Amino acid sequence: MTPVKNIPRHQKLYEVLRKHISDGLYREGDLLPSENELCHLFGMTRPTVRQALSTLANDGYIKKHQGKGSIVHHLPREIGILSVSGTTSAIGDRNLQTDIIIRPVLIPWPDNFIFPLSEIEKESGCIYMERLRFLEGVPIFYDITHIANMNLPRITSRQFENRSLFMILREHYHIEIKGVEQRIKAIPASLKISRFLNLKKGEPVLHLERKLETNNPVLFLYSSIFCNTEKYSIFGRF
């Protein structure tokens, strides 16, 4: 079986431009090459180019202006956890350090799980892990992840330190994140949470419960994230 090669051309262009913006090749306020320029730069037609730009605009990388062009948006300096891409890629690998609290282990699903589970998920058991993420030495995220144990061989023995879970899933298991459903609350820190996030018990903590959909229609990732928003905010753009 040959490796995945049939990446659509619009997606390819999207990734190139996205990388250029992330790398700072195009800076905030810059005008991207016009659609027609991109067309014969990359040898594709305008609808294809427009699809790539549309996705970029949707993800908040650019802003389109009729008659003017596509303007590069300033990248969120804050923590872009509201984006689908996963924290590591959004904030940059350099600044976000990840500690593994509990290595991936196989456990039965907890009773009264936060999200309803399908029969297939219940039968396969679940992979559990806990991570703590630091930004400039300050603990920001305490992250509990549940994944159904379906076709993920040897995942319990992989190295997750300073690597995005999304990246590992993508490179080793060809799993892509397709969508997110999430609930956000402000809760008082429990004793456990307060210790991890270096706060006092009862201090406000942002709690996100996320269900991530993948390209495998029966495989979901569930994560419960506790954020210390004392210094940083969660950032989102639409």
Q: Does 182 bind DNA (CB under 7 A)?
A: no
Indicate whether 204 belongs to the interface with a second copy (CB under 8 A). Answer: yes
CA atoms within 13 A on the CB side of 83: 24
| Whole-angstrom distance, CA of residue 187 vs CA of residue 67 | 46
Q: For DNA, which residue of 36, 58, 182, 198 counts as binding (CB under 7 A)?
A: 36
- Per DSSP, the residues of 17-85 read HHHHHHTTSS-TTPBPPPHHHHHHHHT--HHHHHHHHHHHHHTTSEEEETTTEEEEPPPPSSB-TTSTT
Segment lying near a second copy (by CB under 8 A), choices 21-29, 152-160, 162-170, 180-188: 180-188
Angle (CA) 124-125-130 rounded to 5° is 140
Q: Return the residue matching tokens 């067309």.
A: 39
Nearest to 63 by CA among 91, 15, 29, 89: 29
Backbone dihedral region of 237: left (phi > 0), alpha (psi from -120 to 50 degrees) or beta? beta
Instruction: Work out the number of other CB atoms within 10 angstroms of the CB of residue 111.
Output: 5
Under the criterion CB under 8 A, does residue 233 sit at the interface with a second copy? yes
> Is 82 an interacting residue with respect to a second copy (CB under 8 A)?
yes
Counting contacts by CB under 8 A, is residue 84 touching a second copy?
yes
Q: Using CB under 7 A, which of 20, 64, 163, 207 touches DNA?
A: 64
Identify which of residues 89 and 229 has a Cβ nearer to a second copy in the complex.
229
- The item of a second copy, DNA, none sharing an interface with residue 64, based on CB under 5 to 8 Å by kind, is DNA
Q: Does 10 engage in binding with DNA (CB under 7 A)?
A: yes
Exactly one of 25, 31, 184, 218 binds a second copy (CB under 8 A); which one?
Answer: 184
| Tokens (6 digits) for 169 | 């899933």
Q: What's the CA gap between 231 and 206, in Å, rounded?
A: 12
73 binds DNA (CB under 7 A): no
The partner in contact with residue 181, picked from a second copy, DNA, none with C-beta cut-offs of 5 to 8 angstroms by kind, is: a second copy
Cβ closest to DNA, residue 70 vs residue 98: 70
Q: Of these partners, a second copy, DNA, none, which one is at the site of residue 34 (CB under 5 to 8 Å by kind)?
A: DNA
Site residues for DNA per CB under 7 A: 6, 8-11, 32, 34-37, 43-48, 50-51, 53, 64-70, 217
